[in-house]
Amino acid sequence: MANRIDRDEKIDLTPLLEVLANRFRPRDDQEAYELIVGACQEAQRLYGWVPPEAAQAIADHLGVTINRVYGLLTFYADFRTEPPGKHFLWLCHGAACYVMGSSRLIELLRDRHQLVDHGVSPDGELTLHVFNGCLGVCDLAPVIQVDHHEYWGRLTPERLEAAIEALKRGDRLEDADGTAG
């Protein structure tokens, strides 16, 4: 999800409560435990992350402790317990991208933007996930997929910096320096 949700924004629990009431009806404690992950996935689908209010609503609905919900939320790396950044960067760190310098991109994001794997930049603009597989576009290596649909290819730290600035300005990437792949 590309839209950032501010920490201070009040979460409307109505859609989650409807889904829980319609689809999550445990018959016993064991079933309630087994439904926690699915309920958290629904919350993340609805909000882009699992806000504390949603975690509490899930615990209340299933009759489990909030600690059990957070135990699973922190166990599975795909769950977000912080609001996502406005833009999502999926940085490929597979073999071809590694050889072509993806480590330097990771360093730039860490040193210049305080952005680490599964983190959000302090300005709330960027979320980063580093992917150790292959995004399937090795001819663009090193490459970052942006907001789930666009690729920045053949990146150098300088080109990445320019692309991020363009993204924050809302410019089309081609207008920055032809960074788009």
CA distances from 112 to 35, 120, 122, 157, 162 (A): 41, 13, 11, 10, 12
Hey, which residues does 119 pair with through a beta bridge?
Answer: 128
Residue number, nearest CB to ligand FES: 94
Least distance to ligand FES, CB of residue 132, Å: 9
Of 97, 144, 155, 166, which one interacts with ligand FES (CB under 6 A)? 97
Look at the block and give the residue holding tokens 């406005």. Answer: 86
User: In the set 95, 154, 157, 180, which binds ligand FES (CB under 6 A)?
Assistant: 95
Of 138 and 180, CB closest to ligand FES:
138
Within residues 119-158, the interface with ligand FES by CB under 6 A covers 134-138, 141, 143
160 lies in the site for ligand FES, by CB under 6 A? no
Residue 17 makes contact with ligand FES by CB under 6 A: no
Closer of 19 and 96 to ligand FES (Cβ)? 96
- DSSP letters of 25-92? --SSHHHHHHHHHHHHHHHHHHHSS--HHHHHHHHHHHT--HHHHHHHHHHSTT--SSPPPSEEEEEE
Q: Residues interacting with ligand FES, by CB under 6 A?
A: 92, 94-97, 134-138, 141, 143
